[in-house]
Homo-oligomer: A and B are copies of this chain.
């Protein structure tokens, strides 16, 4: 049955175009086009002749031509910060899956630096490729500037950033995650909780820090000085060495799992046991966190769902042609996952 991917007469180099199919089926090109775009408008008998011809010639519509004629490409652009990181990579994956289910393709631009210029350039490159819309995975505070001067007619969805700007937004409620983490630690009897934060330039870092601070204040506890890291295990380790020297530290909320890992390492080296001497909570719930030593209590973020939500927002935005109004939001709730790195205060 399968004639291989190059059906038709053996000699034909150029791949088949609509006209070829039309000729073989004995109809006009327009009818072929209709079979593709509104099949119900062509008589079943004709339709099947056309379909057969398509199969025979292994016809595939030329997208460039369709784009030129219709103005829409079926491609969505994604501008993302460092797709090597667990969060962005997972979000991207979620977007890709959702997109595929709706027959969209994803073109990506990964940025290793986020600012007004790089975001603008990334979007420009994608616009040049006629993407139908752009999803920006831009967890930096500075991303907001880059978003302001983007052309307003371009459908845009933002993931995890620029909460105060009027764009459709999908993200995880960072603040809530932090609140849950800190409440958990307080409920175990800890007097206060230290915080190992991410860089202040990151939206997520600030959300988590804000949740941490608010929860402590609400409970009437003093908030210790924040230690600022850069998300890496290395920075968690460095800062952890400082914490390990201070015997008053009994509970630490690290802004992500990698820093928590570094922290665990530093505590261990200093002879401080977890959770007996110090309790540690992370954030992200990377797949490895149950196997840290000890298994890490952390806040689970469903990145896949964020990706799906972002795509759904984009679909709305493209579909109804509205400008997205004042920015619909889809906020995903994070969950605390309790493992063995947290325990009662001495």
Contact = CB atoms under 8 A, between A and B. Distances in A.
Interface in A91-128: 92-93, 96-97, 100, 105-110, 112, 120, 124-128
Chain A residues touching B, range:
35 or more
A61 B128 CA distance: 7
Given A65-B68, A106-B108, A107-B107, A60 B128 contact: yes
A234 B107 contact: no
Interface in A265-318: 265, 268, 287-288, 290-293, 295
Contact of A234 (B6, B60, B61, B291): B291
Interface stretch (A23-31, A82-90, A162-170, A194-202): A82-90
Given A89-B89, A106-B108, A149-B5, A291 B63 contact: no
Interface string A115-159: 000001000111111100000000000000000011100000000
Contacts of A92: 83
B97 A110 contact: yes
Interface centre among A64, A234, A295 (most CB of B within 10 A): A64
B268 A129 contact: no
Contacts of A288: 233, 258, 261, 288
B236 A265 contact: no
A5 B120 CA distance: 10
12 contacts: A5-B120, A5-B149, A5-B150, A60-B124, A83-B83, A84-B89, A105-B109, A105-B129, A232-B287, A233-B291, A234-B287, A258-B288
Given A89-B83, A287-B258, A125 B149 contact: no
What is the oligomeric copy number?
2
A121 to B, nearest CB: 10
A150 to B, nearest CB: 7
Interface string A222-246: 0000000000111011000000000
A196 to B, nearest CB: 13
A262 interface: yes
